[in-house]
Amino acid sequence: MLKSLYNKLCSLNLGLWLICLVMAFLAIGSFSRGAAEGGGLNEMPLFMFLREAPVSFSWWLWICVALIAVLVVNTIVCGFDALRKGRSLAPQLMHLGFLAIVLAHLISAYGGFKQPIQVIQGGGIYFPDGERLTVEQIGGTTGAMGMMTSYAAILRFPDGRRSEVRPNHPLFHKGYGIYIKEVGMMEAPAALFEIHREPGAPAALIGAIFFTIGNLMLLNTRRQR
Partner 1 sequence: MIWVYYACIPLYFFGSFRWPLLVAGLALELVYLAGRGLTLGRLPLIGPQDTLAFFSCSVALMSIPFVFSRELRGNRSFSWGCGLMAGLFALLSLPFPTLNMPLPPVLDTYWFELHVALAFFAYALFGVAALLGGMYLNGGGRNLLDLQYRAALVGYTMFSLSMISGGIWGYYAWGTYWLWTAKELWTSILWLYYSMYLHLRIKGPAWDKAFAWIGIAGFLVTLFTYLGVSMLMRSSHSF
Half-sphere CA count of 205, side-chain side, radius 13 A: 4
Q: Minimum CB separation from partner 1 for residue 1, in Å?
A: 26
Query: Judged by CB under 8 A, does residue 167 bind partner 1?
Result: yes
User: Site residues for partner 1, window 43-102 (CB under 8 A)?
Assistant: none
When asked if residue 217 is in the footprint of partner 1 (CB under 8 A), the reply is no
Q: Which C-beta is closer to partner 1: that of 2 or that of 225?
A: 225
Question: CB atoms < 10 A from the CB of 27, how many?
Answer: 10
Residue 83 or 158: the one with the smaller Cβ distance to partner 1 is: 83
Question: Environment class of residue 199 by beta-carbon count within 10 Å: exposed (0-12), middle (13-18) or buried (19+)?
Answer: middle
Does 220 sit near partner 1 (CB under 8 A)?
Answer: no
Site membership for partner 1, residue 26 (CB under 8 A): yes
Contacts for 210-214: CB closer than 8 Å, 24+ residues apart: 210/93, 210/94, 210/96, 210/97, 210/100, 211/93, 211/94, 211/96, 211/97, 211/98, 211/101, 212/97, 213/93, 213/97, 214/89, 214/90, 214/91, 214/92, 214/93, 214/94, 214/95, 214/96, 214/97
Nearer to partner 1, 37 or 129 (CB): 37
CB atoms inside a 10 Å sphere around CB 208: 14
Candidate residues 16, 66, 83, 188; the one interacting with partner 1 per rule CB under 8 A: 16
Q: Nearest distance from residue 125's CB to partner 1, in Å?
A: 14
| Per-residue binder mask for partner 1 (CB under 8 A), 115-144, x = binder | ----------------------------xx
- Does 7 bind partner 1 (CB under 8 A)? Our answer is no
Give DSSP secondary structure letters for 94-158: HHHHHHHHHHHHHHHHHH-EEEEEEEETT-EEE-TTS-EEEEEEEEEEE-TTS-EEEEEEEEE-T
Determine the interface stretch with partner 1 among 2-10, 130-138, 153-161, 215-223 (rule: CB under 8 A).
215-223
Give whichever of 135 and 165 is closer to partner 1, judged by the CB atom.
Answer: 165
Contacts with partner 1 by CB under 8 A lie at 12, 15-16, 19-20, 22-23, 26-27, 29-31, 35-37, 41-42, 104-105, 108, 112, 114, 143-145, 147-151, 166-170, 177, 179, 194, 196, 198, 200-201, 204-205, 208, 211-212, 215-216, 218-219, 222
